[in-house]
Homo-oligomer: A and B are copies of this chain.
Amino acid sequence: MISSNEPLAPMLGKLCARGTLDDADRAAVLALPYKLKAHDADGYIVREGDIATHSCLLRTGFAYRQKIVKTGERQICSIHLPGDMVDLQNSLLVVADHSVQCLTRADTALIPREAVIELAFRRPNIGLAMWYDTLVDAAIFREWTTNIGRRDARTRLAHILCEFAMRMAAAGLGDHTAYDLPMSQQELGDCTGLTPVHVNRMLRSLEEAGLIARKQRSVSILDWDGLVSAGDFDAAYLHLPNA
């Protein structure tokens, strides 16, 4: 068993969920060179336009990908949990087409880009798991496009609450009926293409329907099946291993 105080252990856990790794693969992952870094809430991990030199593992804390439009509004394209490899996207594409920013204080491990690529092809099991992981990210992007493009506000919010519940549970951060959501209603709006005012109204609607309860930013799901139905949610796109 791998000691959990290995800094790269969360990455190993993620890769094992995305593919099949043998003992030598596991050791190779933990042997990657890295540099630890701490980030404040709202700190940037990557800025749009950056040239990638490192790939980033989110060890603790939450982060999100965002793009800014002409009017100054922003769109959050995905949320990342502890254990996520936040930046395989940008680091292979070289020039970052979006920013990655911290939602909370966070600890990361920066791994040189070349070391990641070298490992991916030296040990195909690992490479396939990493590739798979980036494709799951892509599947989530597609679902978010669909969510914003073709669902009404209430359904969008119910959907995203279901997604977070499933992913938090899969990451071991709470079961799928209760979790702490480290996001403001403004940020929820930036995820769903809504204004914070309307997010507030729709959350209240979900609460009044008895589907969820809120206390500060912790969400309890009182009626999972009801929320799944209200959110038109089908977890297939998350490609979770034990589903």
Contact = CB atoms under 8 A, between A and B. Distances in A.
A131 B117 CA distance: 11
Contacts of A137: 138
A233 to B, nearest CB: 10
Contacts of A136: 93
A89 B239 CA distance: 12
Contacts of A237: 97-98
Q: Is the interface of A mostly helix, strand, loop or mixed?
A: helix
A73 B232 CA distance: 12
B193 A67 contact: no
Contact of A69 (B73, B93, B127, B151): B151
B132 A121 contact: no
Interface string A153-164: 001000000000
A132 B92 contact: yes
B148 A149 contact: yes
Nearest to A136: B93
A93 B134 contact: no
A139 interface: yes
A143 interface: yes
Contacts of A127: 121, 127
Contacts of A232: 69-70
A74 B149 CA distance: 9
Contact of A74 (B74, B138, B150): B150
A174 interface: no
A186 to B, nearest CB: 13
Interface in A62-108: 65, 67, 69-71, 73-75, 77, 88-89, 92-93, 95, 97-98
In the complex, the 5 A-B pairs of residues with the closest C-beta atoms, listed nearest first: A149-B193, A141-B141, A75-B146, A138-B138, A121-B124
Given A88-B135, A131-B131, A149-B192, 18 more contacts: A49-B236, A67-B143, A69-B151, A69-B232, A70-B155, A71-B150, A74-B150, A75-B149, A77-B146, A89-B135, A95-B236, A95-B239, A97-B143, A117-B128, A134-B138, A138-B138, A138-B141, A145-B145
